[in-house]
Structure 1
């Protein structure tokens, strides 16, 4: 993969310059059929996605997940957290298993997902993130083969805004790698983000789940900061009582998430400086 360009597998999932309302009935049915295997009666893996007003993003996420070929039966669950746009209509059209959480906040949505999940293994995803074809298998592998591992988290990169390249974002990611490595020396739990982490469902429940004091805003609210998400870091910290954290470094597991949170700061440089001041601290 060229670090400064998007990998080839992403392009079919981006649906560039197209909204879900632009899809033909044939395209909707084709994606629905691709998602059909991700609703088995007895899943071993649960992929859980919270969503709030993501009608113009979530079908991209679902398309990328549908391109996975997990070795174990896998379910996809979306928790609709009071969306007021067409998010639910998109999910209904694609036949995705959905629950509605009326308590507002990402931690409430993730907690419901944790409680509804049937799989032994729980993978956390987000509705503005694109997942590579081997993501599920790569993330689950350490949990299956090493009993000392209680929580996995993976690498991530940023999707550039429409019509722009990844040069500035790639440089930001390279600089951020230094901070990630520093945090592994004592505050590794801060590296775990809810769009790219996993654990055993039962251990997640026993650890206290995702509920925290306070309420985090969704990432599609202007000013929201992916660094300060708290329910995912708290979950990773609590899971350390069962074992150790494991960073999945395979390029096959690198996810691409929205850069809209960075763009709120006005520039990549300003975004990096703002986050550098905070990233060595707790969420």
Structure 2
């Protein structure tokens, strides 16, 4: 495991090293810079991307890698997730939102662009492939995770693959949603994307 300390001013380094985990410092404070630092420092065949505010099941690594080990022609695996409320929104409300989100992801995969379904806190790819496409560097205005998945596919490394095993489900906080205006705004964004009123490459909701 590698934790990238993206120039934080808190006790990140101290706590990570106390747990016996490798911690590397990336002073350029940008998501792409942090992920590229981790990609370069990793020694394994596969790279699994994760966030500090997300809870992962015990067998998450094995379940994410399994499709790439057993099948040919997969460039990147991405998983499903559920929200942990940080505001006053009841969990049952998020259940219905996630149902809409699952429908949106099916719509993207079937009729539009599956790459928008890929999130950086729940994905897996081969390190060699990631390096071959220049890592997480992307043009201004493009969504990082979706663009990275597109680069892998267009380079010929294979298709995108959704891991649907319920045991691989991860739980993440709703901070992205709250930052963008809350649950109601998130639902509107989802519906706009499904109906074609939004041309964003990806969203953090």
TM-score greater than 0.5 by the shorter chain: yes
Separation in 1 of the partners of 2:145 and 2:180?
23
Query: Shift of the alpha carbon at 1:198?
Result: 0.6
**TM norm structure 2:** 0.88
Q: How big is the alpha-carbon RMSD for the aligned residues of Structure 1 and Structure 2?
A: 1.9
* Aligned residue number for residue 113 of structure 1: 38
**TM norm structure 1:** 0.65
* Aligned residue number for residue 190 of structure 1: 116
Q: Which has the higher contact order (CA 8 A, sep 6+)?
A: 2
Are residue 202 (structure 1) and residue 128 (structure 2) matched? yes
Secondary structure of the 2:27 match is coil
Separation in 2 of the partners of 1:265 and 1:148?
36
* Aligned residue number for residue 263 of structure 1: 178
Match of 1:232 among 138, 145, 168: 145
Are residue 146 (structure 1) and residue 71 (structure 2) matched? yes
* Aligned residue number for residue 187 of structure 2: 272
Tell me which stretches of 4 or more aligned residues in structure 1 moved more than 4 Å. none
Unaligned runs of 5+ in 2: none
Are residue 159 (structure 1) and residue 84 (structure 2) matched? yes
1:212–1:101 distance in 2 versus 1, CA, 3 Å? same
Separation in 1 of the partners of 2:140 and 2:10?
25
Paired residues, what number?
A: 195
1:200–1:267 distance in 2 versus 1, CA, 3 Å? closer
Separation in 2 of the partners of 1:278 and 1:176?
11
